[in-house]
A and B are shown apart, each in its own frame.
Chain A
Amino acid sequence: MDLDFSADDHAFRDEARTWLRENVPRERRPEGGKAMRDFDFEWQRRQFSGGWAGISWPAEYGGRNLSLMQQLIWYEEFAGAEAPPIGINFVGLSHAGPTLIARGSEEQKARHLPAILRGETIWCQGFSEPGAGSDLAGLRTKAVIDGDELVVTGSKIWTSYAQHASVQELLVRTDSQAAKHRGITWVIGDMNAPGVQIRPIKNLVGIEDFCEVFYDDVRLPLSNVVGEIDNGWSVAMSTLSFERGTAFMADIVELSRTVTELVALAREVPRWDGHGRAYDDDHIRVELAQLRAEVDALRSLNYATVSRVRREGRPGPEASIVRLYYGLLSQRTYDLALDIAGPQCSSAAPESPAARWVRGYFNAFRATIAAGTKDIQRSIIGERMLGLPKDR
């Protein structure tokens, strides 16, 4: 056990801090539409040309081949500099890219990885279906082999940024006779192919960031299959291990900043009865202290993930612990924020400080649903870590 950072790590941190100070966009990130897409692309391109994209990715695909620790240092500095989120580049950078690095063919890696880093392609995830959410392996979107193509029919849902994306992590059923975890194939989908239809869905926050996607005889080359036909479940598990394990490191660092801002808010706004500040209230002050303690623990759990990945090559089932802890903690943070911000939450103008907390409150529900609900995470912890029997 040690907290030693190498001289390289320190130099990297200094370099990152300096670059971010000079390059973080100061304009506000647009909430949706083409303006948001352009903003996210531009920010990604700026990071790429500065040499800050794909920090832990292999150099031959445009990455820097540095450690996951340095990737984490980058996220820490990124949050510290109040940089805008990676936004629409999230799927490509955080789990499609890592999945291709782990499981893709040379041709697939060469074609897709540099484009992700350069901010040229947006990826989306086609895993969940109307009838297959928590029971992901129950998916029914089917693909049949026709010559050197797969022909896909069915639908996917909760696909974030599908309306902006050009490529997709797509899970399809290629053998309907096999047991449900067999017979699934992981294929790179083409969002611009004929037969793809997209219906954006307004989420709880009021923005269209996820969609339903329909496939009507959509033809994809067999060379787009990642891993082998019918062996997609193990590739999907690889994707999910990144999605649950390392993909939201930036969010963890960000939550720590949010709690700090909430402390500042409590020191500023009046207490519920109008006397003194909210921070003078024992309940608020102690609850905030508890959140601050847990945010520290979350950071330590994040470091534990990095330690495990370094030893074992990828995140293990413990990643579900971090995901669950993060999700519940972010919800409690925004729950308390509404208590602190008080009556102004009921009619917060869009640009007002209170709007940020109301919006965050609604948005935090996402944290125990996406990437596996909290119930699924608990079952994974129970079964894969504690050895309890499966319930299904």
Chain B
Amino acid sequence: MDLLLSADEEAIVASVSGLLTGSALADPDASWPDQAWKELAAMGVFGLAVPEEHGGLGFGVAGEVLLFREFGRKLARGPMLGTTLATQVALEAGAVELAESLISGSATCGYAEPLAGSSPPPGDSASGTFRVWEGRGAALLVLVTPQWSGLIQADRLSAEGLSVASLPQTDTSAEMTQVTLTDVPVLAQVPSAGIATRAALLVAGMQTGIAEAALAESAAYAVTREQFGKPIGTFQAVKHRCADMAVRAEAARFQTVYAALAWDDPALQEQAAGQVAAAAAVAADAGRRNSADNIQNHGAMGFTLEASPHRYLRRTLVLASLLGTPRAALEQIAARA
């Protein structure tokens, strides 16, 4: 039992983090960076959890969670969530070629979930209204519902049962759209809760990264910003708020890692879903509250669009709106024995 990173895990995290730093993948103003996406795929990011015999790296969901923590930390944009989940759907459904095209980076997939109460559970064809997060340019959409997930083609469709509506964006560094499907054929499907659970883990990973990034930004600012002739981090009111941020970030990190490892472990299947729900709740709380405290710690600078704290807050709010909001996770816990 070891919740800290192995040398291999450290290495892959460092290379992904290095790629994201200064990359257009983490720059909301840059045009879409095809090249960086291909480099990400070349590192094996989309086959990270895939067993080695299927061309992946065999790190498990726990490995994916580590990368999504970096995606959250860097506020990366792009269809990472959808593509990672789609790979799993394709593999579980036996659509090996589809999985390979996703792993290699030649196909991308947006993340979609039904608007509350709008869609009947899909089967061989899908209908209904879905929210799509980071689906731009993607050839595929993965439809994630609590008990069923499936893949559809998304690139040649307005004529064939798919219409897309753009939405105002709370988080301008990533894109939320809405699609309405009418009898769109499903390419591959997984009729279980597994994909939604994996999605919850990856979102918890991103929330953890946001909580950690907001903490790091606050701690750095508290050391350099001076008032009353001292760095503001000298004052307990600020220092202790930063300490509380560290507590939340640490709890989110280790609960998310534990839940992911439990999900990967066949012997822990019984408790894994409950652990994932706990991770979702704790990480969403850490993401939102740390982002909010980061704004407070920056004073009036925090209340501008010129400084960066607002960006974490926007991303964390959008992530918390997915998968039925953290309240769904809490009710799942409440329904436990």
Contacts and interface: CB of A to CB of B under 8 A. Distances in A.
Given A1-B3, A288-B334, A391-B236, A297 B243 contact: no
Contacts of A378: 236, 239-240, 243-244
Contact of B246 (A303, A304, A385): A385
A321 B1 contact: no
Interface stretch (A2-10, A97-105, A113-121, A181-189): A2-10
B167 interface: no
Interface string B240-277: 10111011001110110110011001001000001101
Contacts of B278: 292-294, 296-297
A135 B336 CA distance: 45
Interface stretch (B37-45, B104-112, B195-203, B325-333): B325-333
A73 to B, nearest CB: 10
Nearest to A69: B1
Interface in B26-64: 62
A301 B255 CA distance: 7
B331 A289 contact: yes
A386 B2 contact: no
A389 B262 CA distance: 39
Where chain B touches its partner, the secondary structure class is helix
Interface residues of A, number: 46
A388 B4 contact: no
Interface majority SS on A: helix, strand, loop or mixed? helix
Contacts of A391: 234-236, 239
A297 B251 contact: yes
A136 to B, nearest CB: 17
A3 B262 contact: yes
B9 interface: yes
A383 B66 CA distance: 26
Nearest to B330: A289
B282 interface: yes
B210 interface: no
B233 A300 contact: no
Nearest to B4: A307
Given A286-B334, A300-B257, A2 B240 contact: no
A178 B238 CA distance: 32
B242 A382 contact: yes
Interface string A264-302: 000000000000000000000110111011101111110
Contacts of B157: none
A303 B254 contact: yes
Interface of B: 1-6, 9, 62, 66, 215, 219, 222-223, 230-231, 233-236, 238-240, 242-244, 246-247, 250-252, 254-255, 257-258, 261-262, 265, 268, 274-275, 277-279, 281-282, 327, 329-331, 333-334, 336
23 contacts: A1-B5, A1-B9, A1-B62, A2-B2, A3-B261, A3-B262, A285-B334, A296-B279, A296-B282, A299-B258, A300-B254, A300-B258, A301-B250, A301-B251, A324-B243, A325-B250, A378-B236, A381-B242, A382-B240, A382-B243, A386-B219, A388-B233, A389-B230
Counting from the closest, the 8 A-B pairs by CB-CB distance are: A388-B233, A382-B239, A378-B243, A381-B243, A297-B255, A293-B278, A296-B278, A289-B330
